[in-house]
Amino acid sequence: MRDLPVSVWTTAQTSPAAQRKGRYVAESTAHPAKMLPAVAAQAIEHYTVPGDLVLDPMCGIGTTLVEAVHAGRRAVGIEYEPHWVDVARANLALAAGAPHDGRVFHGDARQIATLLPPEYLGQAALVVTSPPYGPSTHGQVAVAPGEGVQKYHHRYGNTLDRGNLANIGHHRLLAGFTRILAGLVPYLRPGGHVAITIRPWREHAELIDLPSQILACGLHAGLIPVERCVALLARAGDDDLVPRGSFFQRDFIRKQRDAGLPLHLISHEDLLVFRSSLHGSTGSASATDRQHPRRVLGGRTRHTGNPGSGPGGLETWAA
């Protein structure tokens, strides 16, 4: 990961609620792990042109699809949970009048070849997606007199549903995500990009370096890493960052500090960018492809230095 070009995206200059206002139905709020619209929009702007096809195999409420159609791109997504399929379709209906329409298919993205019509083979210019992770960092809160703080909308669907990647062990999740990435390759056009947002999270106070693990998943799927981006979850001021952490994130950090652990609020997501072979191969990348990962950036210089030394690179900033 240290050899990849790095850039920082200021994707939280406005709040998540402000980014979604008017574009997403109220039911979208309940999803436990929504992608920031600005992250999807920035990836779409950088790696596609109007008319291109954008795909999200784990589309949730349809953030990638909504931002794509508003940007004049075609969009297609897959979602496992029926409720979120309905919400994603409602969000796309709200975008009626945009230059292009989007489609949402219901099913397990590990079976992508049985879900998407053949017309999409070799067509996707960009995939934007995110694996399920860190349920403790998401959700909503309510405070009732005498009842304290109540947490809700912080889990993915039925926790007993083992077909949902969010409900299986970490190693099985990584294997399943690798399978999804490998299944996407035939749908990418030659040189098409895959942008994956990953937020490190803590389990029993230990930071899980999911970005490095997802990098390995992409390599095993035959994709070529070309760039690592830092998508800020905090507003960038003139000389500091203003955190936008959730109640649960702040509460967790506060409790850990009270216990003597000097943890900080995570204020970014890693965004790993891969591409498919320039020759349209569905197998592993050729040696030539691997030796020249920067040529697909179109000559744009967007480097900000080398990744940080901690797990996942630039891992945290102080709250």
| pLDDT tens column, 59-70 | 999 999 999 999
Domain-embedded: residue 119: yes
Is the pLDDT assigned to residue 309 strictly greater than 80? no
- 319 located within any domain: no
For residue 18, with 0-12 CB atoms within 10 Å meaning exposed, 13-18 middle and 19 or more buried, which class applies? Answer: exposed
Does position 289 have pLDDT exceeding 70, yes or no?
A: no
Give, for 228, the enclosing helix (H) or strand (E): strand 224-232
In-domain check, residue 82: yes
- Read off the CATH number of the domain in which 128 is found: 3.40.50.150
Residue 302 lies in a domain: no
Question: What pTM was computed for the model?
Answer: 0.79
The Cα–Cα gap between 203 and 277 comes to 36
* Domain extent at residue 152: 6-297
pLDDT in tens, 138-172: 444 444 455 544 444 444 455 545 556 655 678 88
What pLDDT sits at residue 157? 54
Of 124-128, 265-269, 270-274, minimum mean pLDDT range: 265-269
Indicate whether 66 belongs to any domain. yes
For residue 93, count other CB atoms closer than 10 A to its CB: 11
Name the burial class of residue 235, with classes exposed (0-12), middle (13-18) and buried (19+) by CB atoms within 10 angstroms of its CB. middle
Look at residue 311 and tell me if it is in a domain. no
Q: Which residue has the tokens 């304290």?
A: 148
Domain assignment present for 232: yes
How do 53-56 and 74-79 pair as beta strands?
parallel
- pLDDT tens by residue, 5-21: 999 999 999 999 999 99
Give the total number of structural domains in the chain: 1
Q: Say if residue 306's pLDDT is above 50.
A: no
Question: Is residue 184, in this structure, part of any structural domain at all?
Answer: yes
